[in-house]
Structure 1
Amino acid sequence: MTLDVYRSALGDRTRGWLALHPDERRRRAVEACAQKDAGTLWSLTEAHLGLYGASGILVSPHTLSAYRTGVTQYVLYAQERALNVLHPSLDDAQAYALHLLERRKIATVRGKVAAAAALYKALRWAGATDVTPFSGVRVPKDHEHPLTKNPPYSPAVLRRVFGRVDEALPLARGRERTRLLSARTLLLILAHTGLRIQEALDLAWADVHLDEDEPFITVRSGKGRKSRDVGLSDRLTSALRTYRALPRRRSHAAAMVLPFRTRAAAANLLRPLFERDEVDASGRPVSDWRGCHAFRKATGTRLYEALGDFAAVAEVLGHADINVTRSYVRISGGRAGKVMRDW
């Protein structure tokens, strides 16, 4: 049996690489490049992100997951094409971007290229190479509006989904009732507060203030580790009180509002609720599911329609840049059309 250090946190994993003598760090990095060892190359990249990334060890789990996938896919690409990982050229890097553009959306390609660039920052830190192949890669601009690519959920879709849950709850028992209550709580959190999905998953009961004159939640896990208070609707307040009374099996689960920790678990819970009672030409159920971010855009749109104030919407959504908020809000042409008809 071989004993090893248990590294449960990013800081611990980062210190594992930092504790190495520079010569040993370089040796391991060079060896991983030669063997195209995706696991070791990701471990090195993660350590560098923890040390020198914009957020340091506070980098979000979602960012780490996306970068890990990006580094792994790049190493697989290098394996398939016998690419020299240690010394690729700018042409090699641009060819990788072209390969991605043939298969994925522009925004996704930008993320994959960023992950590969992060790998080479880590390799330079380790002293394994001095190349910067991805610094000159060109990815075309995406001129499609964010609301066209992924529009917000319409009020009609949300009414239908909430109605499905409300109809099923009175007849549900045991685990099925708990599952539906979890789904209703998550739906209301996302649709009535505009939280990012990670913020919803990280929400603790200690930050839920239901007994105030105006109930609110304190969001602490947003981008930049900033906190903000978000008011609660009467409907969400009632749902949270009901949900809080449910028995929880584990102490950690009892501290958190939602019992699951991953985006995949959240999506698996909600996705079936968006299926319509019809099928497409291939016989598959028609679904209105567009992911959790579409709730955030729906909240932004609804708030702007009520307030007409981008700054107020940005405050609720936690945007530092009001121009980002504009890309979240679908402005109806109805009001403008009425004014123009009256000219």
Structure 2
Amino acid sequence: MTDTPAQAIVPFTGDALTQARTFTGLSDEALRVRAVTAARDKSFDDLWALTLAYLATETSGGVKTSPHTLRAYRKGVQVLTEHARDHAWNLLHPGRREPGMFVATLSASGLKPATVQARVAAASALYRALRWAGATDADPFTDVKRPKDRTKGIVKNPPYRADFVQAMLAHADAQERVLLLLLAHAGLRIAEALAVSWADVDLERRRLLVAHGKGDKARRVPLSAMLREALTALQHEHDPAGTRSERVLHLKAYSSAYERLQKLALKCGREHEFRGFHAGRKYAGTQLYAATKDFTRVAGFLGHEQVDTTRRYVELPEDDLDDIVEGFR
């Protein structure tokens, strides 16, 4: 079968909803033909466009799936496409042992278990998209064993230490100070922090509305005295007339925020301690648990549906049972 230019899948250039419409408007047969052709040619651009359309219309996150998740899925689809091309896979009818070999190859390349799991999740999403398009019935990763990381996340990436947070704050400008405190005091995810608008900030009631958290769930979090002070200073510095422009932070992209804090850590002479954004969120969760001893309250604060997730965000002191055990009879 030979595609004409009009039949080729157009790579994604607009928003997720626009992309989805390029597929949902097709007849069932036209969609199937496009998906079959993309799989046959092992065309990454076309397979990713199909997967993105599926994610936008057929998943709970829909068009509001986070950019971070989309980046991870895109990389995973790319890795699978390259592997299929290099190893002569038939994507629509993969051999029974091929998916296991794919996972083994990823592990043998030195990738961490969590990264391998993310790659397999993306591959599974691609096959859900192919089934959605009617191109195949294959579900090759259902029974594939995935490597497990026996080291707890809180050990691999613990919360920032208080002295590091204080050093960063001491060298931060107004924007950086607010960003740090939204992570380390308000416990926000980076996407939530970058999306905060002045309309979400209630300094009088000491509350912040997270309007669109993960899964598009809203929640309110308390504002610490330091964060209120930083927000007030930032507002006076960048909005002296009180016009309250929409976004609190001028930073818009994940990469820009990462680079900004990385340079700040370098300025402090502590660049080796900078580990991204999540360690700041864990810092907030750990501080709150130390004060409340209540995982349920911490889960609500961090926006977790499951308390088990919250347990991975809280570092417990190694000696927290010493006094209790000391009094055993």
Same fold (TM over 0.5): yes
Whole-Å Cα distance in 1 between the matches of residues 70 and 235 of structure 2? 31
- Residue 142 (structure 2) pairs with residue 135 (structure 1): yes
Give runs of ≥4 in structure 1 deviating > 6 Å: 4-7
Q: Identify unmatched segments of 5+ residues in structure 2.
A: none
Q: Give the conservation status (yes or no) of the 8 Å contact 2:213–2:303.
A: yes
Instruction: Tell me the amino acid that sits aligned with residue 300 of structure 2.
Output: E
- Residue 97 (structure 2) pairs with residue 91 (structure 1): yes
Identity of aligned residues (%): 39
In structure 1, the residue matched to 2:319 is: 334
Q: Give the conservation status (yes or no) of the 8 Å contact 2:168–2:268.
A: no
- Residue 202 (structure 2) pairs with residue 209 (structure 1): yes
Whole-Å Cα distance in 2 between the matches of residues 276 and 82 of structure 1? 49
In structure 2, the residue matched to 1:31 is: 37
Matches within 5 A, 1:60-79: 60-79=66-85
**Aligned to 1:117, which of 109, 118, 124?**
124
Deviation for aligned residue 1:55 = 2.2
Instruction: Tell me the amino acid that sits aligned with residue 105 of structure 1.
Output: K
Q: Give the conservation status (yes or no) of the 8 Å contact 1:33–1:85.
A: yes
Q: Give the conservation status (yes or no) of the 8 Å contact 2:221–2:301.
A: yes
Whole-Å Cα distance in 1 between the matches of residues 18 and 320 of structure 2? 56
In structure 2, the residue matched to 1:266 is: 257
Aligned length: 315
Whole-Å Cα distance in 1 between the matches of residues 267 and 194 of structure 2? 27
In structure 1, the residue matched to 2:86 is: 80
Whole-Å Cα distance in 2 between the matches of residues 230 and 195 of structure 1? 9
In structure 2, the residue matched to 1:323 is: 308
Corresponding residue SS for 1:287: helix
In terms of mean alpha carbon deviation, does 141-150 or 267-276 score higher? 267-276
C-alpha deviations, 1:207-229, integer Å up to 9, x for none?
Answer: 1112x2x3211002212211111
Deviation for aligned residue 1:67 = 0.8
Deviation for aligned residue 1:232 = 0.7
Whole-Å Cα distance in 2 between the matches of residues 255 and 277 of structure 1? 31
TM score, norm. by length of structure 1:
0.85
Deviation for aligned residue 1:158 = 1.3
In terms of mean alpha carbon deviation, does 35-44 or 267-276 score higher? 267-276
C-alpha deviations, 1:214-261, integer Å up to 9, x for none?
Answer: 32110022122111111111111111122123447xxxx931111222
Corresponding residue SS for 2:142: helix
Instruction: Tell me the amino acid that sits aligned with residue 110 of structure 1.
Output: Q
- Residue 299 (structure 2) pairs with residue 314 (structure 1): yes
- Residue 166 (structure 2) pairs with residue 147 (structure 1): no
Q: Give the conservation status (yes or no) of the 8 Å contact 1:70–1:115.
A: yes
Q: Give the conservation status (yes or no) of the 8 Å contact 1:276–1:288.
A: no
- Residue 51 (structure 2) pairs with residue 45 (structure 1): yes
In terms of mean alpha carbon deviation, does 7-16 or 216-225 score higher? 7-16
Q: Give the conservation status (yes or no) of the 8 Å contact 1:204–1:257.
A: yes
C-alpha deviations, 1:119-143, integer Å up to 9, x for none?
Answer: 1111112122221111121103322
The 1:228–1:157 alpha-carbon spacing in structure 2 relative to 1, beyond 3 Å, is same
Q: Give the conservation status (yes or no) of the 8 Å contact 1:90–1:136.
A: no
Whole-Å Cα distance in 2 between the matches of residues 215 and 54 of structure 1? 32
TM score, norm. by length of structure 2:
0.89
Whole-Å Cα distance in 2 between the matches of residues 106 and 6 of structure 1? 30
The 1:98–1:31 alpha-carbon spacing in structure 2 relative to 1, beyond 3 Å, is same
Instruction: Tell me the amino acid that sits aligned with residue 85 of structure 2.
Output: Q
In structure 1, the residue matched to 2:170 is: 163
Corresponding residue SS for 1:334: coil
Whole-Å Cα distance in 2 between the matches of residues 146 and 277 of structure 1? 26
Whole-Å Cα distance in 1 between the matches of residues 275 and 45 of structure 2? 31
Corresponding residue SS for 2:92: coil
Whole-Å Cα distance in 2 between the matches of residues 34 and 107 of structure 1? 29
- Residue 94 (structure 2) pairs with residue 100 (structure 1): no
**Aligned to 2:183, which of 159, 166, 190?**
190
Corresponding residue SS for 2:188: coil
Give the aligned CA root-mean-square deviation in angstroms: 2.3
Q: Identify unmatched segments of 5+ residues in structure 1.
A: 166-179, 279-284
Whole-Å Cα distance in 2 between the matches of residues 272 and 342 of structure 1? 49
Instruction: Tell me the amino acid that sits aligned with residue 76 of structure 2.
Output: G
